[in-house]
Amino acid sequence: MTSMWMQIAVGAALGLGLSLSVIRWVAPLGWMDQPDECRKHHARPTARTGGLVLWIGLIALQVSGKVPFTLHLPDWFAIHAMAFTGLLDDRFNLRARYKAVTGLVVALTLAFHMTQSLGQAMRLVPFLGMDLPTYPLIIFPLLMLWFWAVPQAYNLIDGINGLSLGFAALLMGVLGWNLGIQPALLWGGLAAVLALNFPKAHHFLGDCGALMLGTLFAILGVQAFGFSHPDLLLWVFAYPLVDVCLVVSIRRWNSAPLSQADRSHLHHWMLERVGGKAWLATPLLLGFAALPMLRATAIPGHVPISTLGAMGLVLLAFNVFMDRAARPSRSMAAAQVRREIPIMASGTLREASGAHRSMATGAFREASGSHRRL
């Protein structure tokens, strides 16, 4: 126990020192998020380097051989490819097609690798009350969808200070417990990055961190539950999955393009309800995220508590849906900050932008930046 706390302290000290150094020396080279009057309402230029710090820390663990979990070559390729793509996007605002291609290549690579592993380990996989045979034609498409969707969904919840990093802490706890590991150094590094992001942001996680963490957790999730109880993946990742389903449902109901940016995420709605206080909205949302995750633990009463938690999360999403879709005229006027864009035709095109950072155009653009969607 003492050794674990020592490792956490070392990881935190290294993470804090590296974070401050990167903010001071790297962020001014182009990884700064500049506020403006229309779209980005943080008070001052803020570094987009939190993800870079976590990536450097993970590389250091890999090189030193101190990674606490088992990752194979395809896993490392996927993690580093997504992190590098996110880093470039944080700096150069890549086009959606480039990120789409990278995400697809990564998903195909991981799905092929995991399909082979599942096929060799077992013949049937229990899922949603069914025993699915581990035939490649069945397992491969499901895994490809998983490895494409989870990094994007994880990136989409990175909309207010501390939410995605807090969710990462919850995931590391649940996945580490089920895998029988204690990633103490990573805990420390994550705590240091979180301390500089919440409640007041000195840096943002950025695409580099969100896409990297989303890919890492997607891999660890399959390792923890894919070979025994894949249903638990839906409980552990309930929050980002419900959030994505909510946004898609609202846009479909309103006959809006799925690529149209808006303020329909759970964190947008919650932030408005608490008067713009991110320090309050983030813990509330993490509470909704944590309760369903208890299904994957062995604490007393974990089944009824997680069931109630999942019901609460769904009810929250339904309330947001009713507010944004069924009663859009009243809610969206307060929810959206609009700007007029002159076009070569009569009238103007009104484009919604966020209260903290803009919801960028395109589904991948929306999934492309830490704190750019408020």
- State residue 353's pLDDT score: 34
Whole-number Å distance between alpha carbons of 272 and 10? 38
Asked if pLDDT for residue 296 goes beyond 60, the answer is yes
Contact 244, 265 (CB under 8 A): no
Q: Both ends of the chain: CA-CA distance in Å?
A: 40
Is residue 182 scored above 80 in pLDDT? Answer: yes
**What residue segments make up the domains of the chain, in order of their start?**
2-366
pLDDT, position 40: 56
Q: Tell me which of 328 and 275 has the higher pLDDT.
A: 275
- Dihedral (C-alpha) 372, 253, 256, 271: value to the nearest 10 degrees? -20
Residues 64 and 182 sit within 8 Å (Cβ to Cβ): no
Question: ∠ CA(16), CA(21), CA(27), 5° rounding?
Answer: 115
CB atoms within 10 A of CB 82: 28
Residue 112: its H or E element: helix 96-121
Q: What is the pLDDT of residue 2?
A: 66
Nearest residue to 167 via CA among 212, 214, 207, 199: 214
- Give me the amino acid identity at 173: G
pLDDT-wise least confident of 71-85, 212-226, 230-244, 345-359: 345-359
pLDDT band at 88 (very low <50, low <70, confident <90, very high): very high
Confidence of residue 15 (pLDDT cuts 50, 70, 90): very high
- The separation between CA 171 and the C-alpha centre of its own chain, rounded to angstroms, equals 11
**Which DSSP string do the residues of 142-200 spell out, in sequence order?**
HHHHHHHHHHHHHHHTTTSTTHHHHHHHHHHHHHHHHHT---HHHHHHHHHHHHTTSSS
Structure confidence at residue 358 (pLDDT):
38
* Predicted confidence band of residue 1 (pLDDT cuts 50, 70, 90): low
Neighbours of 36 (CB within 10 A): 11
pLDDT at 64: 94
How does residue 325 score in pLDDT terms, banded at 50, 70 and 90? Answer: confident
- Band (pLDDT 50/70/90 cuts) for residue 156 is very high
Give phi and psi for 366, each to the nearest 5: -65, -30
Residue 337 has pLDDT above 70, yes or no: no
- Between CA 159 and CA 267 the distance in angstroms is 7
pLDDT of residue 124: 75
pLDDT at 56 over 70: yes
pLDDT at 103 over 80: yes
Task: Output 122 or 307, whichever has higher pLDDT.
Answer: 307
What pLDDT score was predicted for residue 138? 84
62: confidence class by pLDDT, cuts 50, 70, 90:
very high
Mean pLDDT of the chain: 85
Share of the chain above pLDDT 70, in %: 83
CB 362, CB 93: distance < 8 Å: no
